[in-house]
Structure 1
Amino acid sequence: MVENTSTDDTAGAQVLESLLEALAAWPDLGVRARVSIEQWSGLTADEARAYQDVGISAVRSVDGGRAVSDQVRALGRMRYEPSVSTLIGLWEQCPVHPVAVAAAHALFEIGTAGARDTLRKGIHDHEHLGQFMALKVMFTDEGTAWDNVSHLFADECLTAAPGQIAAIQALAFLSPQSFSQSGPEWHSDDLRDLVSRDRRWLDLCVGLRDHEVLGGQAREVLKYADPAVTGPALDAAATVRTTQSRPARQQWRAGDLVARYANGDHQGVWRELGALGHLDGPQRAEAEQVAALTMERVRQNAHSLATALIAHGWPVTLEQALPGPAPDVEDRLRHLEQITGSPAPPALAAYWRIVGTIDLVPRDTWDVPFPSGVPEQLAVADPLEILDLTTAWFSVEEWQDESADLRPEIAGPLELTVAADYLHKANISGGAPYSVWLPHAGADPLVREEEHVLSFTDYLRRAFASKGFLRLDRQDEWVAHGLTRDHLAELTDWLAGVENESKDF
């Protein structure tokens, strides 16, 4: 050892030596290499579970994991550069998750070029921490934040999910990370006023405010930026929007779509209606007639399906499944139009007027066993539920409360809940509810947060085609989580016994 080695270097060497001794004493845990979003999406349910099980098994197999994490963090605080190669190995392959997390933060604190390059590569990691650490490096690299991060918003980067996720996470750095009694708190003071200091970020967020995927996060940035800066930019953007010309109106003779629908061209008519981003008066009137014909058939299908399921043992009642339209539906629709500035999309309005509610969720079984012979796994197969407007009105009230003090350009769409997600339907804590965004100037809005990415009418078609269960295509997940092939066969046989034939609509 060199005689003039500093005290810090000596302490760092001792901690690193102790860390290596501790790691050498661990059993062979294998490795858990980091995977990208794209790689993760390509895994089967079995492969994804096996990947997760490696980490769970590793944490359970080692002694002294907390002490090792403490040593890793200590190396970071000391900024002991000779430990970087060891820390990179732990970050990239260690299956003991707390140790890998500590290694990432230690690499950032040490901050050598190699450490930062390693973290920067995590921008498309499947796990959030990899994305977060990559962006933390980018926002603190030499040069301006725009020069270091703006490439994530290039058109070619936003064409697929990995790029969209990276861009969303980057915008999240420009809005509060948490809130305390003293108000919102950012990742750093430098990022708090970045939108005000660099017009390029302001223009980016204003331009993305209506983006299908990034819009919500862009509006969140604008919400907490200085209104003296954002106000003029949003005013100018609103003016541009009002002066933009609409696409040329698709021509058809009045009554053609209704006639075609009545003659059986159900899906063809809805494809044409769905292609219209904005219905003018005559188009809306005809779309409303088509929607009324459609939802009459949906009502008949719902009654037929619910009756068949109940006859075969599905634990709901017909009164629960199909209580009918809410008595105040017309008042609600008028009020909704006043609030959003636009009539409800014809498909939704007709559904609420004619069907009202479909509810096949077996809530009465949440605290009691399933009926004998009825496959309990179907509880997580996403049984069909569409709320009536009165029941969903809490979404309107929440949106009004949240947007009361916001400019319309920042408030964003009203996310109207139409159903719980499939896990909440099974009384399991889950994700965001399925929703539609209003106002919607077309005929048939998208059902959001639901994995099949379908319009409202297509969502109903899928539900009836699968006898009321929208996730029957996820049976590989059930097998990966313990459902046996025999149980799966019983489920298939039970569904085959549900005698029902739905009308096309």
Structure 2
Amino acid sequence: MTERLDWVDRYVAGERDQVWHEMRQLGSRVRDAAFASEAQAVCDEMAGLARSNIETLISRLRQQGYRFHKNDDDQTPTEPYAAPGPQAEEHLRWLEERLGPLPMALSSWIRIVGDVWLVGTHPEWTGSAAADPLVLEVAGSRYDDGDIREYFAGEIEAWQEEQDEPFVLPLAPDHFHKDNVSGGAPYGILLPDACADAHFVGEAGMPFVSYLNWVFQYGGFPRPTGDQAQWRVTYQLRKDLHRL
């Protein structure tokens, strides 16, 4: 392993799937001194590419006349993205103090990406909110008061009273709630977790980075709606997005 530990160079060169495989194989050992800095640097590179994809998607959606709005009856307009604020590092420590280690990919996301909310309505595709648009809110940067902790604290307290199953940090409404329909549990990430990649829990469990690649493969809207406009819209949205 050590003779091929040049993960960052290989990741940048395009060996992304192989690098993620090697880091995942290590499990929590990725925190060992021999691996930690290189692994965190890869996660930071991933987060930078993800942020670029998100900014590209939002720009393209705006050009297409997309209306970003909340998942409420009034479809209240909202901003789709907020970069990390000055409290990002402190927010990481707050989570770690209550839940233990965070996956490196998640900590990179909090420090580099921020929060994204692609729920809305496309002028040519009225069912876009039903297509499970990308939403990830972990930094709290989109919240009016800039602090998501009251919500997280309530979820942690409820879990601590039971602790009959692993804790899932909620990051997004499920695909029903995004479309303002009563649905199931939020999407989230299992914690604590000392690995490089995180375990994303949605309708199915998968590595966090695999989930992101799946979403970007469909231009941010991975759930089929049966509307022919979906293919036309997402074909333009997904063009030349980075693979993470």
Give the TM interval when normalised to the shorter protein: 0.7 to 0.9
2:229 aligns to what?
Answer: 490
The 3-state SS of whatever aligns with 1:431 is coil
Cα 1:376–1:437 change in 2 (3 A) is: same
Q: Specify which of 66, 71, 87 is matched with residue 328 of structure 1.
A: 87
State whether structure 2 residue 39 is matched by structure 1 residue 287: yes
The answer to which structure has the higher strand fraction is 2
Displacement after TM superposition at 1:436 (Å) = 0.7
Alignment of 1:129-144 (within 5 A): none
What is the CA–CA distance in structure 2 between the aligned matches of 1:387 and 1:259, rounded to whole Å?
A: 30
Q: Match of 2:213, as an amino acid?
A: R
Alignment of 1:125-204 (within 5 A): none
Flag structure 2 segments of 5+ consecutive residues without an equivalent.
Answer: 70-77, 141-146
2:54 aligns to what?
Answer: 302
1:348 aligns to what?
Answer: 106
Number of aligned pairs? 229
Cα 1:252–1:308 change in 2 (3 A) is: same
The 3-state SS of whatever aligns with 1:275 is helix
Q: Specify which of 188, 196, 205 is matched with residue 443 of structure 1.
A: 196
Alignment of 1:217-236 (within 5 A): none
Residues 54-85 of structure 1 show CA distances to partners (whole Å, capped at 9, x for unaligned) of xxxxxxxxxxxxxxxxxxxxxxxxxxxxxxxx
Cα 1:411–1:330 change in 2 (3 A) is: farther
Do 1:360 and 1:385's aligned partners in 2 also have CA atoms closer than 8 Å? yes
Residues 382-407 of structure 1 show CA distances to partners (whole Å, capped at 9, x for unaligned) of 0001113336534531244235567x
Cα 1:499–1:415 change in 2 (3 A) is: closer
Do 1:392 and 1:417's aligned partners in 2 also have CA atoms closer than 8 Å? no
Larger RCO (alpha carbons 8 Å, 6+ apart): 2
Cα 1:491–1:297 change in 2 (3 A) is: closer
Do 1:329 and 1:389's aligned partners in 2 also have CA atoms closer than 8 Å? yes
2:17 aligns to what?
Answer: 267
Do 1:326 and 1:388's aligned partners in 2 also have CA atoms closer than 8 Å? no
1:386 aligns to what?
Answer: 136
Q: Match of 1:503, as an amino acid?
A: H
Displacement after TM superposition at 1:309 (Å) = 1.6
1:377 aligns to what?
Answer: 127
Cα 1:405–1:504 change in 2 (3 A) is: closer
What is the CA–CA distance in structure 2 between the aligned matches of 1:285 and 1:272, rounded to whole Å?
A: 15
The 3-state SS of whatever aligns with 1:348 is helix
Q: Match of 1:350, as an amino acid?
A: S
What is the CA–CA distance in structure 2 between the aligned matches of 1:261 and 1:497, rounded to whole Å?
A: 26
Do 1:392 and 1:416's aligned partners in 2 also have CA atoms closer than 8 Å? no
The 3-state SS of whatever aligns with 1:459 is helix
What is the CA–CA distance in structure 1 between the aligned matches of 2:234 and 2:98, rounded to whole Å?
A: 43
Do 2:24 and 2:196's aligned partners in 1 also have CA atoms closer than 8 Å? yes
What is the CA–CA distance in structure 1 between the aligned matches of 2:84 and 2:154, rounded to whole Å?
A: 23
Cα 1:495–1:257 change in 2 (3 A) is: closer
Cα 1:491–1:355 change in 2 (3 A) is: same
Do 2:104 and 2:194's aligned partners in 1 also have CA atoms closer than 8 Å? no
Displacement after TM superposition at 1:315 (Å) = 1.1
Q: Specify which of 376, 380, 401 is matched with residue 157 of structure 2.
A: 401
Q: Percent identity?
A: 29
Cα 1:428–1:256 change in 2 (3 A) is: same
The 3-state SS of whatever aligns with 1:290 is helix
Q: Specify which of 203, 221, 230 is matched with residue 469 of structure 1.
A: 221
What is the CA–CA distance in structure 2 between the aligned matches of 1:330 and 1:499, rounded to whole Å?
A: 31
Do 2:159 and 2:167's aligned partners in 1 also have CA atoms closer than 8 Å? no
What is the CA–CA distance in structure 1 between the aligned matches of 2:151 and 2:168, rounded to whole Å?
A: 7
Displacement after TM superposition at 1:272 (Å) = 1.5
Cα 1:498–1:297 change in 2 (3 A) is: closer
Task: Report the RMSD for the aligned CA atoms in angstroms.
Answer: 2.5
Displacement after TM superposition at 1:321 (Å) = 1.8
Q: Match of 2:193, as an amino acid?
A: H
What is the CA–CA distance in structure 1 between the aligned matches of 2:151 and 2:23, rounded to whole Å?
A: 26
2:212 aligns to what?
Answer: 460
Cα 1:294–1:490 change in 2 (3 A) is: closer
TM-score by length of 1: 0.42
Larger Rg: 1
Q: Match of 2:37, as an amino acid?
A: A
Do 1:309 and 1:498's aligned partners in 2 also have CA atoms closer than 8 Å? yes
Displacement after TM superposition at 1:301 (Å) = 1.1
What is the CA–CA distance in structure 2 between the aligned matches of 1:301 and 1:455, rounded to whole Å?
A: 19
Do 2:174 and 2:187's aligned partners in 1 also have CA atoms closer than 8 Å? yes
The answer to which structure has the higher helix fraction is 1
Flag structure 1 segments of 5+ consecutive residues without an equivalent.
Answer: 1-250, 363-369, 479-487
Residues 172-204 of structure 1 show CA distances to partners (whole Å, capped at 9, x for unaligned) of xxxxxxxxxxxxxxxxxxxxxxxxxxxxxxxxx
